[in-house]
Amino acid sequence: MQIGEVAERTELSLRTIRHYDEVGLVVPSARSQGGFRLYTEPDVARLMLIRRMKPLGFSLEEMRDLLAATDRLDDDTVHAVERATLVEVVRGFEATTRERCEALRVQLARADEFATILRAHLDGTAGE
């Protein structure tokens, strides 16, 4: 599929997808004869993984590290010792993700409280 369809499916901008290509996070699987980027379902899945990491504050380098680890884990030829190391890398990302999700939950609860306070001021019930 072409980049426009990928952008629509992933809710990422064309610019963002191109940037991820330029930095090597998601390289299109092919190019058309006219030079257009062509993506496959695995490319879209990779973009979705990146999209999910972004709000958690992972850097491009961290994204690259996780993608490299998961790519290697998907390789059946990886030896047991390397596999164990890769599993630990992914476990570290999973733990960090859980911590960052909890921090976001706290932020969201505070934002909800703030919205409730503002609503009370608008309704004239503040301080009651």
CA distance 80 to 86: 10
The CATH label, of 3.40.50.720, 1.10.1660.10, 3.60.15.10, 1.20.210.10, for the domain at 1-54 is: 1.10.1660.10
Q: What is the pLDDT of residue 124?
A: 84
pLDDT of 45-100, one tens digit each?
Answer: 999 999 999 999 999 999 999 999 999 999 999 999 999 999 999 999 999 999 99
**Per-residue pLDDT for 128 more than 90?**
no
Q: Which residue has the tokens 């996780």?
A: 66
pLDDT of 2-11, one tens digit each?
Answer: 999 999 999 9
Q: What is the pLDDT of residue 13?
A: 96
pLDDT of 96-118, one tens digit each?
Answer: 999 999 999 999 999 999 999 99
Q: From 4, 45, 8, 52, select the one nearest 26 (Cα to Cα).
A: 45
Q: Are 36 and 2 in contact (CB under 8 A)?
A: yes
Domain residue ranges in the chain: 1-54, 57-128
Q: From 91, 20, 23, 81, select the one nearest 51 (Cα to Cα).
A: 20
pLDDT of 24-42, one tens digit each?
Answer: 999 999 998 888 899 999 9
Q: What is the pLDDT of residue 90?
A: 97
| SS3 call for 19 | helix
Is the C-alpha dihedral spanning 55, 56, 57, 59 positive or negative? Answer: negative
Q: What is the pLDDT of residue 127?
A: 62
End-to-end CA distance of the chain: 58
Q: From 17, 22, 61, select the one nearest 39 (Cα to Cα).
A: 17
| Neighbouring C-alpha atoms within 13 Å toward the C-beta of 20 | 27
